[in-house]
């Protein structure tokens, strides 16, 4: 059964919902709504990863995310993922009760110690594909190669394979055509043998395809969710949980011959 990860950005400048959930009460209320709508996990981020976003210090990021995590662990029973590439932030979040590390740099940022944090806390780590350029020779092959580099970093740190998840990194270091090609060939990633998280919600390639602003990309996101499930993605990371949950249940029912759960 496909799992849904709801997005909670406690940032002032995220591309879609920046500034809406910066107050603790707003963040907690939104997380509760996401769970009510069907989220199996909440992904909490304290720094925007949109192009051109302002760098946030680890101290500031910790101040944003830790109080929310602590409060949520008291009030709801759901997995919490910390969306960060900074090991010190991940450590603070895990100490506060987070269950999963979601690393947009695939444990390659800085001293590459994020995987060591995952191993120390024995939690899953999501290794997303990312790089600092778009200079691909053979696009799909290099995406897979980059992911294998992240996997090897995690394995070298002692992270067991069952704690490694992958994310193809739609929208990161990829242009419109590359995002579309990777969506079409997601099975190359899901066939690597690790659970795959797909994060396409409201992203710019959907806006380019449909010529629509961020707030009108729900239907496009639903299409990517359905394709991702068909291609074998285990988790879908989205802003609009209720609609994507319904789409995933329908896809699971069809692909399972009518069986749900």
Cβ density class 213-223: b for 16+ within 10 Å, e for less: eeeebbebbbb
- Contact criterion met (CB below 8 Å) for 127 and 90: no
Contacts of 187 (CB under 8 A, 6+ apart): 231, 232
Q: Which of 3, 174, 237, 245 is catalytic?
A: 237
Q: Which of 203, 217, 231, 245 is catalytic?
A: 203
- Contact criterion met (CB below 8 Å) for 167 and 198: yes
Please say if 203 is a catalytic residue: yes
101: β partners: 82, 125
Provide the 3-class DSSP secondary structure of residue 160. Answer: coil
Q: What angle do CA 259, 260, 261 make, to 5 degrees?
A: 120
Cα separation of 127 and 60, whole Å? 23
Residue 116 sits at φ, ψ, to 5 deg, of -65, -35
Please say if 86 is a catalytic residue: no
Numbers of helices and strands, H then E, in the chain: 10, 8
Name the residue with tokens 């995590």: 69
Q: How many CA atoms lie within 13 A of 24 on its CB side?
A: 10
Contacts of 74 (CB under 8 A, 6+ apart): none
Q: How many residues does the chain have?
A: 261
Positive or negative, the Cα torsion across 176, 177, 182, 185? positive
> Looking at the annotation, which residues are catalytic?
203, 237
């Amino acid at each position: 059964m496909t799992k849904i990860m709801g997005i909670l950005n406690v940032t002032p400048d995220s591309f879609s919902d920046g500034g809406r959930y910066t107050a603790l009460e707003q963040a907690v209320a939104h997380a509760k709504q996401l769970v009510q709508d069907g989220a199996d996990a909440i992904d909490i981020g304290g720094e925007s990863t949109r192009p051109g976003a302002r760098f946030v210090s680890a101290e500031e990021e910790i101040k944003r995310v830790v109080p929310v995590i602590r409060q949520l662990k008291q009030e709801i029973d759901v997995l919490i993922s910390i969306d960060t590439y900074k090991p010190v932030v991940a450590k603070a979040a895990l100490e506060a009760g987070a269950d999963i590390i979601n690393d947009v740099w695939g444990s390659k940022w800085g001293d590459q110690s994020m995987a060591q944090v995952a191993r120390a806390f024995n939690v899953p780590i999501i290794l997303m594909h990312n790089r600092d350029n778009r200079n691909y020779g053979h696009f799909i092959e290099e995406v897979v190669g980059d992911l294998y580099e992240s996997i090897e970093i995690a394995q070298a740190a002692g992270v067991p394979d069952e704690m490694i998840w992958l994310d193809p990194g739609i929208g990161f270091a990829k242009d419109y055509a590359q995002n579309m090609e990777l969506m079409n060939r997601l099975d190359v990633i899901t066939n690597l043998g690790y659970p795959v998280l797909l994060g396409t919600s409201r992203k710019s390639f959907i806006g380019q395809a449909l010529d629509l602003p961020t707030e009108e990309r729900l239907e496009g996101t639903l299409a990517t969710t359905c394709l991702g499930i068909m291609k074998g993605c285990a988790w879908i990371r989205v802003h609009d949980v209720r609609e994507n949950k319904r789409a995933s249940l329908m896809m699971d029912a069809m692909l399972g011959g009518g069986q749900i759960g």
